[in-house]
Amino acid sequence: MKRLILASSSPRRKELLSMNLLSYEVIPSTIQEVMDPSLSPEELVCSLARQKAEDVFRLHKEHVVIGADTVVVNNGTVMGKPAGRKEAVAALRSLSGRTHTVYTGVCILSEGKERLFSVSTDVTFWELSEAEVENYVNSGEPFDKAGSYGIQGLGARLVQSIAGDFYSVVGLPVSRVVRELESFGISAVSQEDDI
C-alpha cells in the first residue's frame, strides 16, 4: 500500500496533517530555497513546493509525497522568513495597518501523477505601535515564519481580519489537501477513528 510522506520540516504542516490523516511519515527536503524574482507569487510557491516534493520523491517513488511552500506578498514585495531581528522588525512595520496576501503552494506526487496548486488568503493587520512590534519580535515567534509572524500563535493579536483559508496562512490548506489526497488513494481519519 502507498504511504504518505510529508516532505517538510515545518511543525505546523505536520500538526495540520496529524489532525486529519491516519498516518504519514516526515522526510524533510534538503533543497536550497531560491526566490526567483521573475516568477509570480503563485508560480514561485508552486515551483518551490514541487522542488521539495520532487527532492523526496526521487528516493521514495513507491509512495505519495507532499511538498508545500508559503510566502507573504505585501505591496509587491515577496517575503519569506526573516534573516534576523532587523528584517523581522522591518517586515512587521511594513505589514502594519495594511492588507497583504499569503500564498501557499502545494505539490502532491506519486508515480505517474501530480497535483500542483496554490491558495491565496488576504490578511489585514491592525496598525501596530513600535512597542507592539518590539515585544512581538522579542517573543522569538517571527524567526521561522514567512512574513515574520504566526497567525496561529501570539501573532493572532496582530491580525484584524482574514479573507480565505486560515490553515493556508499557517502553511497548509489542509481541507483542499485532504480532498486532493483522496484521488491518490490516501484517505482522512473518519469521525469514528478520531474519537
Residues that bind ligand TTP (CB under 6 A): 8-10, 12-13, 28, 33, 52, 68-70, 72, 81, 102, 144-147, 149-152, 155, 169-171
Minimum Å gap between C-beta 136 and ligand TTP is 12
Residue 193 annotated as catalytic: no
Set 36, 69, 122, 193: catalytic member: 69
Q: Find cell 481519519 and name the residue.
A: 189
Minimum Å gap between C-beta 150 and ligand TTP is 4
Task: Give 162 or 189: the residue with its C-beta nearer to ligand TTP.
Answer: 162
Minimum Å gap between C-beta 19 and ligand TTP is 15
Question: Which residue type occupies 37?
Answer: P
* Residues with catalytic function: 69
